[in-house]
Amino acid sequence: MEHKPVTAIFPGSFDPITNGHLDVIGRGNKLFDNLIIAIGQNPKKEELFTPAERVAMVKELVKDMPRVTVESYNCLTVKFAAEKKADVMLRGLRNLTDVQYEFQLAMTNRNVAEIETVFIMTSEEYGFVNSTMVREVAMLGGNVGKLIPPSVYEHVKKRVEEISQK
């Protein structure tokens, strides 16, 4: 029986990408033949970085992962997944609150778009980290250097400085 390559899509805003995201990406890269980091836009969130800036930052971080690609999209996630012929949706879970939300989302995606969801538990040290919290702490002058990759931290510091000068 021939092995059909499995393509997974890991969607999110990644604004900014965190060490928890990288943890899920690294482990997902071991499970799937191809992994697409899908950088979406969430109209409910005030963005720190443009989609193009986020794509560039993430591409730099995954450049040594040959089966990982990074793209932005501005449509329903399941539509983008279908366009990319993704077999599964990869999602990271941090805590019980995530489980409830992600379970509902996975069931909806399976019913609406017939795409399965695979969950990866984030490593314990990243269980409390999310992009919204990183943005808020950074905007209030806090040090988020342990929560995000060093190169991303430099971009965050620069952007916060630009915003505070306006």
| Catalytic residue numbers, as ranges | 21, 45, 94, 131
How many whole angstroms separate alpha carbon 119 and alpha carbon 66?
22
CA–CA distance, 137 with 114 (Å, rounded to integer):
38
